[in-house]
C-alpha cells in the first residue's frame, strides 16, 4: 500500500447517460478512484454514517466515528469521483479500540442485541480473547454504481493484508491481524424469529469444517426469510461461519455475520459475477 497522501489504489470508470431537454442523450464518463482515508474525508464519512443504519441503530457518535475512520489510513478504502465521496469500507479492531467512546456503543449493540443465545455466547468468547476481531463498517450513496463494490472490497482486503505485515506501529500491526470479521447487514424481516436457536424450517446450512454440536445462529431457511438491503452483504452472509439477528425496539432490522478474512477474499470474484 502506498503511503503517499494522494496516491490512488485502484480506479474504475462508470459511464452514465443523461437525458437532455430535447430528448437526446449525452454520455457522461465519470472516473471513480479508490483512495486511502485522509483526515479531510471525515465530513464526507460522517454524512454517510448519519445516512446509514448502523451508526444510528447503535447510537454511536458519527462525528467521532468518522474522525476515527478517516485517520485510520492503513486499513480503509474511500470511493471518490471528482473529490466527491461516494462510499467507503473499513474495519475497526474491536479489542484494540474497545475503550474508545465511539466504539463502545457499537460493541454494546452487537453484544446486547444478539437474539440467538449460542451466537451471543460465541461472540462474547471471541471478544474476550486476544485474537483480533474486526468490525466492518461500510456505507455508500444510493447512486454509487454497484459495479464498484467488488473492487472496493478487494482493495479493502488488500489493505488488511498490507497492514498486518507493514504497519509501523507494532500494536496496530497486531490489531490488524484479523482472525475474524464481523459484518452488520441491514435487513427487512419477512417474519419474526424467537430469541432461542430453533430447528430449521427448511434446508439446513452446511456445517463449517470443525463445527461440533448444535449449529449457531440462523439457518438457511431463516436467512431466506430476510430481505437484505445490499446484495453483496446477502452473498457474504450465506458464506458466514454463522449469522444472528440483532433485535431492536422496532423489530429485527440487522443481521450480524461472522466471517473469516479468507472467505471474504474468495467472495470477490463471485461478487464480480453477481454485480458487474
Domain map (residue ranges) of the chain? 8-271
Q: Label residue 76 by pLDDT band (50, 70, 90).
A: very high
Q: Label residue 26 by pLDDT band (50, 70, 90).
A: low
pLDDT given for residue 137 in this prediction? 98
Check whether 6 has a pLDDT greater than 80: no
Packed helices 104-112 and 117-127: angle between N→C axes, nearest 10 degrees: 150
Q: Are 84 and 47 in contact (CB under 8 A)?
A: no
Strand-strand pairing, 133-140 and 180-189: parallel
Rounded Cα gap, residues 77 and 202, in angstroms: 38
Among residues 237, 144, 253, 248, the alpha carbon closest in space to that of 182 is found at 237
Please name the fold of domain 8-271. Aminopeptidase (3.40.630)
What sign does the CA torsion over 188, 193, 196, 197 have? Answer: negative
Rounded Cα gap, residues 47 and 239, in angstroms: 30
Residue 52: how many CB atoms within 10 A of its CB?
17
The position carrying cell 507494532 is 170
Q: Tens digit of pLDDT for each residue in 129-180?
A: 999 999 999 999 999 999 999 999 999 999 999 999 999 999 999 999 999 9
pLDDT given for residue 29 in this prediction? 80
Q: Tens digit of pLDDT for each residue in 191-231?
A: 554 443 333 333 345 445 444 556 899 998 999 999 999 99
Q: Of 4-18, 115-129, 219-233, where does mean pLDDT reach its minimum?
A: 4-18
| Half-sphere CA count of 2, side-chain side, radius 13 A | 9
* Backbone torsions φ then ψ of 134, nearest 5 degrees: -105, 135
User: What's the mean per-residue pLDDT of the chain?
Assistant: 86
Q: Are 195 and 115 in contact (CB under 8 A)?
A: yes
Packed helices 231-238 and 261-275: angle between N→C axes, nearest 10 degrees: 130
Q: Of 43-47, 198-202, 213-217, 267-271, where does mean pLDDT reach its minimum?
A: 198-202
Q: Label residue 5 by pLDDT band (50, 70, 90).
A: very low
CA 50 to chain centre: 16
Q: Are 184 and 256 in contact (CB under 8 A)?
A: yes
Distances (CA, A) of 192 to 216, 226, 228, 251: 18, 10, 15, 8
Rounded Cα gap, residues 24 and 161, in angstroms: 47
Check whether 15 has a pLDDT greater than 80: no
Amino acid at each position: 500500500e502506498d503511503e503517499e497522501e494522494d496516491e490512488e489504489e485502484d480506479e474504475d470508470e462508470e459511464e452514465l447517460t443523461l437525458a437532455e431537454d430535447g430528448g437526446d442523450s449525452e454520455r457522461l464518463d465519470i472516473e471513480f478512484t479508490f483512495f486511502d482515508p485522509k483526515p479531510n474525508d471525515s465530513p464526507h464519512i460522517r454524512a454517510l454514517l448519519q445516512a446509514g443504519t448502523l451508526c444510528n441503530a447503535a447510537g454511536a457518535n458519527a462525528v467521532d466515528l468518522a474522525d476515527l475512520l478517516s485517520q485510520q489510513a492503513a486499513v480503509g478504502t474511500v470511493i471518490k469521483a471528482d473529490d466527491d465521496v461516494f462510499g467507503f469500507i473499513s474495519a475497526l479492531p474491536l479489542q484494540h479500540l474497545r475503550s474508545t467512546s465511539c466504539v463502545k456503543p457499537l460493541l454494546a449493540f452487537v453484544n446486547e442485541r444478539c437474539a440467538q443465545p449460542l451466537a451471543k455466547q460465541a461472540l462474547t468468547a471471541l471478544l474476550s480473547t486476544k485474537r483480533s476481531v474486526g468490525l466492518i463498517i461500510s456505507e455508500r450513496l444510493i447512486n454509487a454504481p454497484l459495479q464498484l463494490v467488488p473492487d472496493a472490497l478487494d482493495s479493502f482486503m488488500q489493505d488488511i493484508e498490507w497492514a498486518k505485515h507493514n504497519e509501523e506501529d507494532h500494536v496496530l500491526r497486531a490489531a490488524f491481524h484479523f482472525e475474524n470479521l464481523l459484518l452488520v447487514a441491514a435487513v427487512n424481516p419477512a417474519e419474526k424469529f424467537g430469541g432461542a436457536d430453533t430447528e430449521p424450517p427448511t434446508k439446513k446450512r452446511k456445517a463449517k469444517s470443525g463445527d461440533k454440536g448444535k449449529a449457531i445462529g440462523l439457518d438457511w431457511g431463516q436467512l431466506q426469510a430476510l430481505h437484505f438491503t445490499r446484495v453483496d452483504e446477502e452473498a457474504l452472509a450465506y458464506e458466514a461461519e454463522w449469522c444472528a439477528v440483532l433485535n431492536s425496539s422496532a423489530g429485527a432490522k440487522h443481521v450480524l455475520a461472522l466471517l473469516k478474512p479468507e472467505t471474504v477474499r474468495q467472495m470477490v470474484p463471485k461478487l464480480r459475477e453477481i454485480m458487474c
